[in-house]
Chains A and B, each alone.
Chain A
Amino acid sequence: MKYSRLILANLFRKKARLILTVGSFAVALFLFTFLAVVKGAFSRGTELAGADRLVVINRVGLINTMPLAYGDRIRQIKGVKFATHNNWFGGVYQDEKNFFPQFVIDPGNQRQVMTEMHVPDDQWKTFVNDRQGAIAGRNLAKRFGWKVGDRIPLQNALYGPTKTWEFNLDGIYTNDKEGGDESQFWLQWDYFYENVPAQVKGQAGWWVLKLDSPDDAVRVGKAVDDTFANSSYETKTETESAFQAGFAKQLGNIQALITTIGSVVFFTLLLVTGNTMAISIRERTGELAVLKAIGFTDRFVLFFVLSESLVIALIGGLIGLGLAFLAIPVVGAKLNGLLPPLLLSVTALGLGVVLAVLVGAASGLLPGIGAMRLRVVDALRRV
């Protein structure tokens, strides 16, 4: 394009300013992308939740348990295909910072309900027959370098005096869904049941129900809660996605917080780049006046200014997205499973580019309109 030389020459007029402005865009886009990925991680549980699964918890709260005997009555409700119960184990592996979710599972029904989580048959068989058996998610095993056959000690203080529970890693599960959780640690119900204090025995943390059809969700949920209404352990039954969303909200309205931070970042970027463009144009008033004098139209002048800001935005944006692309896997690994895997989606990248272009256009628009409206006679008088 015959005007590209003029646009590029103007861009490189003040190299330090160009680097700083491009840097602002890069940092902002990096932050935006990172926040979008974190936000996505928080909501992924909801997105990946099975549409045909319900979660039953104690109406008082998730940390309150329910009688194990509820299982039989739940299974009798029409529309419930399978029901499996889980408990939170809450052990510590070597150091408290090595957090990962540990669930005591019901081997008899786990695979029928959590169908997207796959354990090879031979490993599952070993696990079922091993009272101290355990299954780890692929990411979890990778994180600690575990392999099948390893002995995993977990310290636990939730169930009686602090003691070390020993587990045999019998299998590794994988998740069929992209971005699905592979960071859990499952342990045998029987081994747990034998070793907990009497008051915990016969109690389940929550149930996960697999339904005949997602269409039954409302009816079955109501039926479960009605069954245990006015008992000592009333239940609250909701779809798995609602349960996941509620779980994420226990940490606060993270999504709103992330959206707010992202908006502030971009508004600040808009002010910074807008101001930079305005200064840059002010410095060139005389030159723009000459361009207009020799026949460049007002629209051409606007085009020049917008092109400059868009090129800055695109270069900075692409650098920021590139940094995010490189950094997110590293940061994700450092989070030690505190969040579901951080996935940089094509959508997030595309949104980043679109935002960069929008901010670039917006920051160049006002100075561009100013340049467009510049009266040649007035501008030349100022030179």
Chain B
Amino acid sequence: MIRVDGRDNSSSLISVRGLNKTYSRGGEKIQVLQGLNLDVDKGDFVAFMGPSGSGKTTLLNLLGGLDVPSAGSITVDGDEITHMSASKLTHWRARHVGFIFQMYNLIPVLTAFQNVELPLLLTKLSKSERRKHVETALAVVGLADRMHHYPRQLSGGQEQRVTIARAIVSDPTFLLCDEPTGDLDRKSADEVMALIDELVGKYNKTILMVTHDPVVAARAHTTLHLDKGVLVEGKTPRESVLAGGAA
């Protein structure tokens, strides 16, 4: 269940309270997020939409511990991350967050297997255990037969699936997807979204996704709109699409 009213809910996996983010640019202060509240339960799939500069990616960066808020708090699975040191936050990310980027961001000199193995290098798993995990993750995304291919030998959709495998290989608490289909054609985008659907439906993963595409957003349980730094709950895009209107 996803809520933006800020009422106490101790069962939330992710709880955001009074989140503010202000940037300084040329002496001018720009408030990107203003007193934002959000509660996400385990297994939720939420899409964030909004115009460029509305703060979608900033929100995702804050939720993923890549950036620190100007005010407010973010609590994930009982850990308040807003006051963690940079080093602690890095360790926290390794354990709790899986990132899926628009541009895939795979290491071009490593094979699909080696790219997916990267997060596991930070764990104490043995080589054979790592291999087992990587093979499982690549099987989940349907690329078991491409594990020794380099990114340049894969299509865009396949690259994004490797990114998804890398994101899930360490079984993180939740996944953050920043425009996961933004660089893909419709067919590949559908395949990637089908995979993300599967992660939610079959593996009960919690996913927070930023997208511009209403068709992609329609796959989420809930779509939240960001406008001028404020979250607005609306009709689900699925409902909007079915109703023939915009979300």
The interface of chain A, by Cβ under 8 A from chain B, is: 2-3, 5-6, 9-10, 12-13, 286-287, 289-298, 376-377, 380, 383
Q: Is the CB of B166 within 8 A of A294?
A: yes
The interface of chain B, by Cβ under 8 A from chain A, is: 61, 64, 66-67, 86-87, 90-91, 93-95, 99, 101, 103, 105, 107-110, 114, 118-119, 121-122, 127, 166
Residues from chain B with Cβ under 8 Å of A289 in the complex:
105
Residue of A nearest to B169 (CB): A294
Report the bound CA distance from A290 to B110 in whole Å: 14
Known: A291-B118, A295-B90, A297-B87. A376 touches B109 (CB 8 A): no
Known: A13-B109, A377-B61, A383-B103. A294 touches B114 (CB 8 A): no
Report the bound CA distance from A291 to B101 in whole Å: 13
23 residue pairs A–B, Cβ–Cβ below 8 Å? A6-B114, A6-B118, A6-B121, A12-B109, A287-B105, A287-B107, A289-B105, A290-B99, A290-B105, A294-B94, A294-B99, A294-B118, A294-B119, A295-B90, A295-B91, A295-B93, A295-B94, A295-B122, A296-B94, A298-B86, A376-B66, A383-B101, A383-B103
- Ranked nearest first, the 10 interchain pairs of A and B with the lowest CB-CB distance are A295-B94, A9-B109, A290-B105, A376-B66, A377-B67, A297-B90, A294-B119, A13-B109, A295-B122, A377-B61
Residue of B nearest to A6 (CB): B110
Partner of B107, one of A2, A3, A9, A297: A9
Q: Is the CB of A292 within 8 A of B105?
A: no
Q: How far is the CB of B63 from chain A (nearest CB, A)?
A: 12
Report the bound CA distance from A286 to B166 in whole Å: 16
Report the bound CA distance from A295 to B66 in whole Å: 10
Report the bound CA distance from A383 to B179 in whole Å: 14
Q: Is the CB of A293 within 8 A of B66?
A: yes
Q: Is the CB of B109 within 8 A of A293?
A: no
Report the bound CA distance from A12 to B107 in whole Å: 13
Report the bound CA distance from A380 to B178 in whole Å: 11
Report the bound CA distance from A2 to B110 in whole Å: 14
Partner of B93, one of A10, A286, A293, A298: A293
Residues from chain A with Cβ under 8 Å of B67 in the complex:
377
The residue among A5, A286, A287, A290 with the most chain B CB atoms within 10 A of its own CB is A290
Partner of B90, one of A10, A13, A296: A296
Report the bound CA distance from A377 to B121 in whole Å: 23
Q: Is the CB of B94 within 8 A of A383?
A: no
Residue of A nearest to B150 (CB): A9
Q: How far is the CB of A249 from chain B (nearest CB, A)?
A: 54
Q: Is the CB of A296 within 8 A of B107?
A: no
Report the bound CA distance from A295 to B121 in whole Å: 10
Partner of A292, one of B61, B90, B108: B90
Q: Is the CB of B101 within 8 A of A290?
A: yes
Residue of B nearest to A11 (CB): B109
Report the bound CA distance from A229 to B16 in whole Å: 99
Residue of A nearest to B121 (CB): A2
Residues from chain B with Cβ under 8 Å of A6 in the complex:
107, 110, 114, 118, 121
Report the bound CA distance from A293 to B109 in whole Å: 19
Residues from chain B with Cβ under 8 Å of A3 in the complex:
121
Known: A287-B107, A296-B90, A297-B87. A380 touches B101 (CB 8 A): yes
Residues from chain B with Cβ under 8 Å of A295 in the complex:
90-91, 93-95, 119, 122
Q: How far is the CB of A54 from chain B (nearest CB, A)?
A: 67
Report the bound CA distance from A292 to B105 in whole Å: 12
Residues from chain B with Cβ under 8 Å of A377 in the complex:
61, 66-67
Q: How far is the CB of A75 from chain B (nearest CB, A)?
A: 78
Q: How far is the CB of B23 from chain A (nearest CB, A)?
A: 11
Q: How far is the CB of B93 from chain A (nearest CB, A)?
A: 5
Q: Is the CB of B110 within 8 A of A9?
A: yes
Residues from chain A with Cβ under 8 Å of B105 in the complex:
286-287, 289-290, 380, 383
Partner of B109, one of A10, A290, A292, A380: A10
